[in-house]
């Protein structure tokens, strides 16, 4: 995303879907890039979305691979379900605040409990919480983390033309050890498609999105807490 295998209560994601914009030169982090501006404009017209996230994470010698079914509704309703990989069957809901409600997979799936947002059972291998895994949060990090931000043409991913944002953080130590992070954004849909993070030469995060759907009509009843 060998191996440390865990069975957390549920986990947040850090993912990528699809965005778009014109190529440009370097811009300062904490400032807008064209691709970020395009995403923000598109996201403003979205009330909810669902997608499937394929996530690979690494931390030291431990790795974690998961496929999540992911749902979001404004302003702060999120539901995740691990549909394949480590922790299969586990799921969680966050509706704002400092708690998440979730369940494990298998025979324990009927037992629901509420835990702290940062509880080890409620985060991914690299400590990503549910709200930190939101697609809009991922894009926002490229605009707010201090560092050198560059936007260039990204070529095709899955037949989709992309823009490529690359951020080299000024202080990797305060960024989970990440020294370089890259986000590919669809020029057609203006959402992210894939994100890759490095700690030195090691890929510590590789995530991509499938089956993104927006404005599907979710309601609060879809996020039982």
d(CA 77, CA 217): 13
Q: What pLDDT, on the 0 to 100 scale, is given for residue 29? A: 45
∠ Cα 104 127 189 (to 5°): 90
The mean of the pLDDT values for the chain is 85
pLDDT over threshold 50, residue 20: no
181-209 confidence digits (pLDDT tens): 999 999 999 999 999 999 999 999 999 99
DSSP element (H, E) containing 1? none
Domain boundaries, the chain: 26-218
CATH class of 26-218: mainly beta
Q: What pLDDT, on the 0 to 100 scale, is given for residue 12? A: 38
d(CA 190, CA 199): 27
Backbone angles phi, psi at 186, to 5 degrees: -70, 130
Scan for tokens 């986990």, then name that residue: 11
Instruction: Quickly count: other Cβ atoms within 10 Å of residue 162's Cβ.
Output: 25
pLDDT over threshold 60, residue 100: yes
101-156 confidence digits (pLDDT tens): 987 766 555 567 899 999 988 889 999 888 888 899 999 999 999 999 999 999 99
Q: What pLDDT, on the 0 to 100 scale, is given for residue 110? A: 59
59-94 confidence digits (pLDDT tens): 999 999 999 999 999 999 999 999 999 989 998 999
Scan for tokens 């996020």, then name that residue: 223
H helix intervals, the chain: 34-43, 135-144
């Amino acid at each position: 995303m060998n191996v440390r295998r865990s069975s957390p209560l549920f986990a947040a994601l850090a993912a990528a879907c699809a965005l778009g914009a014109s190529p440009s030169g370097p811009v300062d982090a904490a400032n807008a890039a064209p691709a970020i501006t395009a995403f923000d404009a598109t996201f403003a017209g979205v009330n909810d979305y669902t997608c499937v996230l394929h996530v690979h994470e690494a931390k030291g010698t431990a790795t974690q691979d998961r496929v999540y079914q992911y749902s979001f509704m404004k302003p702060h309703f999120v539901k995740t379900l691990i549909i394949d990989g480590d922790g299969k069957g586990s799921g969680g809901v966050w509706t704002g605040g400092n708690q998440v409600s979730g369940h494990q997979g298998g025979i324990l799936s009927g037992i629901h409990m509420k835990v702290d947002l940062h509880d080890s059972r409620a985060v991914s291998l690299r400590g990503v919480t549910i709200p930190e895994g939101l697609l809009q949060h991922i894009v926002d990090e490229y605009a707010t983390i201090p560092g050198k931000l560059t936007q260039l043409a990204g070529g095709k991913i899955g037949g989709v033309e992309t823009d490529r944002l690359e951020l080299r953080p000024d202080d990797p130590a305060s960024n989970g050890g990440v020294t370089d992070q890259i986000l590919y954004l669809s020029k057609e849909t203006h959402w992210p498609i894939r994100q890759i993070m490095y700690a030195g030469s090691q890929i510590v995060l590789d995530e991509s999105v499938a089956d993104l759907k927006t404005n599907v009509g979710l309601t609060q009843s879809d996020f039982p807490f």
